[in-house]
């Protein structure tokens, strides 16, 4: 099977489905039509710009520019994590916690894949490194956002229970253990669900793209397995780091709960 080239008309026909969704939103008075159109416009602009930037990076083949692009991706992902929190840590922590966790997890797992499994030549090949990092970051971002949101909101909700355990002589780690476990479960559940359903319920986008491009199905399967394992590893590292650091920030070395380090709920 040869590569299938898509024209602007093909993309425009597919976009009619989104227009239909927007019309349904108006008819049903869901109030989502404007958000759909804005999101679609942003997606088109962002992907077109990404295509132009990647073309330049592929031609340059520079570790410096590849690293700079990766850092930009991480910084934008950190902003998305912060924006999804109903409660936020005060100060730099609101943005820095999720960003640092993704920087660590994304860098470690991507370098691990580039140097041990994929092994492009050179190892910093942008054509390989950036798509890998992007797939890892996308899922890690979701896990961290869910884990932190559950941690912060549950700590506020369970404040009475946590302080009661502290009054009974428990350490802050013991008092926060239930909230921490729930936050970790929440952050890891999407990737667990994805691994459970892949191949049976869904064919992942990367595998679909490879098959459409003419790659043999079993080769596409091997690459998809590699990606899923990398994503699972990156998500686990990121969620674990963000949730444990977030829990640490909400406490101090005197075993006190520090909700003064947490901003008011959005809209309050």
- The encoded tokens of residue 31 equal 């109030």
* 268 inside domain: no
Q: What is the pLDDT of residues 88-134, one digit of tens each?
A: 888 899 899 999 999 999 999 999 999 998 888 888 888 889 989 99
Whether 88 and 55 map to the same domain: the answer is no
Whether 108 and 71 map to the same domain: the answer is yes
Whether 66 and 47 map to the same domain: the answer is no
* Number of structural domains found in the chain: 2
Token pair 């098959």 is found at: 211
Give the end of a domain, one of 60, 78, 100: 60
* 173 inside domain: yes
Whether 72 and 54 map to the same domain: the answer is no
Which residues, in sequence order, are bridge partners of residue 1? none
Distance from C-alpha of 215 to C-alpha of 205, rounded to nearest angstrom: 14
Give the end of a domain, one of 60, 85, 100: 60
Residue 108: which of 79, 72, 144, 70 has the closest Cα? 70
Whether 83 and 203 map to the same domain: the answer is yes
Whether 53 and 77 map to the same domain: the answer is no
- The encoded tokens of residue 168 equal 């009974």
- Contact (CB, 8 A) for 67 and 106: no
Whether 47 and 83 map to the same domain: the answer is no
* 234 inside domain: yes
* 175 inside domain: yes
Q: Print the domain residue range for 27.
A: 1-60
Whether 84 and 2 map to the same domain: the answer is no
Whether 121 and 103 map to the same domain: the answer is yes
Query: Residue 266 above 70 pLDDT?
Result: no
Whether 179 and 149 map to the same domain: the answer is yes
Distance from C-alpha of 34 to C-alpha of 13, rounded to nearest angstrom: 20
- Supply the DSSP symbol for 118: I
* 10 inside domain: yes
Report the pLDDT averaged over residues 229-246. Answer: 94
Query: Residue 255 above 50 pLDDT?
Result: yes
Residue 244: which of 107, 151, 178, 167 has the closest Cα? 151
Task: Please state, for a pLDDT cut of 90, what percent of the chain lies above it.
Answer: 42
Q: What is the pLDDT of residues 181-211, one digit of tens each?
A: 999 999 999 999 888 888 777 777 777 777 7
- Contact (CB, 8 A) for 156 and 87: yes
Whether 183 and 219 map to the same domain: the answer is yes
pTM surpassing 0.85? no
Query: Residue 57 above 80 pLDDT?
Result: yes
- DSSP letters along 99-141, please? HHHHHHHHHHHHHHHIIIII--SSTT-HHHHHHHHHHHHHHHH
* 266 inside domain: no
* 267 inside domain: no
Residues 254, 179, 154: CA angle, nearest 5 degrees: 100
């Amino acid at each position: 099977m040869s590569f299938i080239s898509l024209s602007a008309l093909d993309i425009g026909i597919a976009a009619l489905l989104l227009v239909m969704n927007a019309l349904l939103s108006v008819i049903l008075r869901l109030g989502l039509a404007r958000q759909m159109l804005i999101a679609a416009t942003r997606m088109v602009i962002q992907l077109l710009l990404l295509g132009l930037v990647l073309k330049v990076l592929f031609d340059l083949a520079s570790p410096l520019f590849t690293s700079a692009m990766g850092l930009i991706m991480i910084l934008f992902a950190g902003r998305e994590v912060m924006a999804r929190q109903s409660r936020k840590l005060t100060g730099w922590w609101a943005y820095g916690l999720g960003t640092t966790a993704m920087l660590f997890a994304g860098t470690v797992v991507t370098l691990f894949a580039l140097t041990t499994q994929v092994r492009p030549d050179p190892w910093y090949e942008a054509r390989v490194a950036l798509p890998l990092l992007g797939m890892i970051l996308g899922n890690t971002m979701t896990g961290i956002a869910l884990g932190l949101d559950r941690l912060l909101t549950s700590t506020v909700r369970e404040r009475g229970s946590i302080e009661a355990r502290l009054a009974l002589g428990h350490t802050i780690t013991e008092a926060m253990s239930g909230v921490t476990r729930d936050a970790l479960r929440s952050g890891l559940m999407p990737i667990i669900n994805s691994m459970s359903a892949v191949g049976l319920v869904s064919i992942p986008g990367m595998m679909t793209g490879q098959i459409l491009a003419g790659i043999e199905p079993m080769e596409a399967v091997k690459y998809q397995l590699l990606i899923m394992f990398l994503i699972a590893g990156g998500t686990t590292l990121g969620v674990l780091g963000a949730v444990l650091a977030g829990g640490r920030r909400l406490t101090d070395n005197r075993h006190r709960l520090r909700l003064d380090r947490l901003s008011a709920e959005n809209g309050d």
